[in-house]
Amino acid sequence: MAKVRGLLLAGLLGVLLTGVLAVSPASATTPAPTVAITRVSELHQAPPGPVLDPTETDKANTEKSKSKIIAGGAAVALLAIVFFGRRHRIKRRKAGG
C-alpha cells in the first residue's frame, strides 16, 4: 500500500512540476497583448426574462410533490424493513444462545 501511495504522490508531483515549468517559460517569452477600447454609441437593453405561466408552475409543483411523496414512502418502507429485520435477528440470536 505504501508503494502505491508513493507512486501516486510521485506522479502528482511530476504532473504539477511539468505543468508549472511548461507555463512559466511560455508566459515569460510572449509579449503582453494589446487591448483596444472602442466606444459603443447605442445602448443595448437586455431581453426581458422568461414569462412564467402559473398553470405550468402549479403542474410542475404538483409533479414534484408527488415524486417527493413516493420517495418518502420508499424511504419509510426501507427503514421498516431494516428495523424489523434487525429486531427479528436479535430475537433469533437471544432464543438460540
Residue 16 has pLDDT above 70, yes or no: yes
pLDDT computed for residue 96 by the predictor: 83
pLDDT digits (tens, 9 = 90+) for 31-50: 666 766 666 566 677 778 88
Structural domain spans, the chain: 57-96
pLDDT digits (tens, 9 = 90+) for 83-94: 999 999 999 999
The closest of 76, 74, 19 to 11, measured between CA atoms, is 19
Please state, in angstroms and rounded to a whole number, the distance separating the CA atoms of residues 34 and 11: 38
Q: List alpha helices for 1-97, DSSP H.
A: 2-29, 54-96
Residue carrying the nine cell digits 414512502: 73
**96, three cell numbers:** 438460540
**11, three cell numbers:** 506522479
Residue 24 has pLDDT above 60, yes or no: no
pTM reported for the whole predicted model = 0.44
